[in-house]
Amino acid sequence: MLTIENMPQLYPSDFDLYLFHEGTLYEGYKLFGAHYIEGELGNGFRFTVWAPNARAISVVGDFNDWKPNSHPLKMVKHSGVWTGFIQDLSENVRYKYAIETRSGTIIFKADPFAFYAEKRPATASMTSRLDRYEWHDHKWLRTREKIDIYHRPMAIYECHLGSWKTKDGELMSYRELADELPDYVCDKGFTHIELMPIMEHPFDRSWGYQVTGLFAPTSRFGSPEDFMYFVDACHARGIGVILDWAPAHFCRDAHGLGRFDGTPLYEPVDPRLADRPQWGTYNFDFSKNEVVSFLISSARFWMDVFHVEGFRIDAVSSMVYLNHNDDLPYRLTNKNGGEENLEGIEFLKKLNATIFIKFPSALMIAEEATDYPLVTAPVDKGGLGFNYKWNMGWVHDILRYMSFPPEQRRDHHQLITFSMLYAYSENFILSFSHDELVYGKRSLLNKMPGDMWQKFANLRALYGYFITHPGKKLLFMGSEFAQFDEWKDLEQVDWKLLDQYETHRSFLKFSTALNHFYQEHACLWRLDHEGEGFEWIDADNNQQSVISFIRRGKRKGDYCIVVCNFTPTVYHDFKIGVPNAGTYLEMFNSDAELYGGSGQCNTEPVEAEDAPWNNQPYALKVTLPPLGMSIFMKETKKRLQEFTAHN
DSSP H/E element including 304? helix 289-306
Q: How many helical (H) and strand (E) elements, i.e. helices and strands, does the chain have?
A: 17, 31
Q: How far is CA 294 from CA 17, 181, 219, 572, 591, in A?
A: 12, 31, 21, 62, 52
Question: How many Å apart are CA 250 and CA 125, to the nearest integer?
Answer: 17
Q: Please tell me whether residue 468 adopts helix, strand or coil conformation.
A: helix
- DSSP H stretches of helix in 324-405: 342-358, 392-403
Sheet holding 628-634, edge to edge: 534-541, 546-552, 559-565, 628-634, 583-589, 606-607
Cα 449 from chain centroid (whole Å): 29
- DSSP H stretches of helix in 203-333: 224-236, 271-274, 289-306, 316-320
Q: Hey, how many other C-beta atoms are within 10 angstroms of the C-beta on 572?
A: 9
Q: Show the CA angle centred on residue 566, arms to residues 561 and 568, nearest 5°.
A: 120
Q: Which residues contact 169 (CB under 8 A, 6 or more apart)?
A: none
Contact 53, 262 (CB under 8 A): yes
- Among left, alpha and beta (phi > 0; psi -120 to 50; other), residue 514 is alpha
Contact 335, 283 (CB under 8 A): no
Contact 619, 580 (CB under 8 A): no
Helix axes of 224-236 and 289-306: crossing angle, nearest 10 degrees: 60
Contact 72, 84 (CB under 8 A): yes
Task: Output the 3-class SS for 469-521.
Answer: CCCEEEEECCHHHCCCCCCCCCCCCCCHHHHHCHHHHHHHHHHHHHHHHHHHC
Q: How many CA atoms lie within 13 A of 444 on its CB side?
A: 27
Contact 271, 252 (CB under 8 A): no
Question: How many Å apart are CA 557 and CA 227, to the nearest integer?
Answer: 45
Q: Show the CA angle centred on residue 532, arms to residues 529 and 537, nearest 5°.
A: 115
Question: How many Å apart are CA 433 and CA 444, to the nearest integer?
Answer: 10
Cis peptide before 121 (omega within 30 of 0): yes
Contact 250, 281 (CB under 8 A): yes
Closest Cα partner for 293 from 32, 18, 15, 26? 26
Which residues face 331 on adjacent strands?
none
- Among left, alpha and beta (phi > 0; psi -120 to 50; other), residue 594 is alpha
End-to-end CA distance of the chain: 78
**Active-site residues: which are they?**
314, 367
Question: How many Å apart are CA 391 and CA 406, to the nearest integer?
Answer: 24
DSSP for 196-207, written as a single string: SP-EE-S-GGGT
Query: Using the 8-state DSSP alphabet, how is residue 150 labeled?
Result: G
Contact 554, 148 (CB under 8 A): no
